[in-house]
Amino acid sequence: MFGVSPAIVGLLRQMGDYLQTAIKLAATDAALGARPDPDQIAGKLAAEMSDWEPTMKGKKLADPPTRAAAARLLAGLACNLVSPGSAHERAA
């Protein structure tokens, strides 16, 4: 049986929390009639993630470029979830 390590579950839980934050930001923009901008949301999310230091087996997993990439991924997912239209139109 394949098992998922508690460290991975913890990492995914943290990323899920950041995704919820990104969804709230995107939904707020959409509710105000603005098209959610994934790059703008990623900037806000990256600032919130600046002190996020996930580790696994003693190894640090997120340097600043990795956190920025994770923020952009989560922001793009959030925009795609709250915006109408196809994904390539929303988060391009």
In a domain, 83, yes or no: yes
Report d(CA 65, CA 29) in Å as an integer: 26
The secondary structure of 63-84 as a DSSP string is -HHHHHHHHHHHHHHHHHHHSS
Q: Please state the pTM of the whole predicted model.
A: 0.85
Strands (E) in the chain, as ranges, are 55-56, 59-60
Structure-token pair, residue 30: 């959409």
Range(s) of the domain holding residue 44: 17-90
Q: What is the pLDDT of residue 19?
A: 98
Determine the Cα–Cα distance for residues 45 and 7; give it in Å rounded to an integer: 22
Residue 3, in any domain of the structure? no
Domains held by the chain: number: 1
Blockwise average pLDDT, block size 10, the chain, 92 residues: 80 96 96 94 96 92 95 96 68 52
- Cα 17 from chain centre: 8
**The pLDDT value given to residue 88:** 53
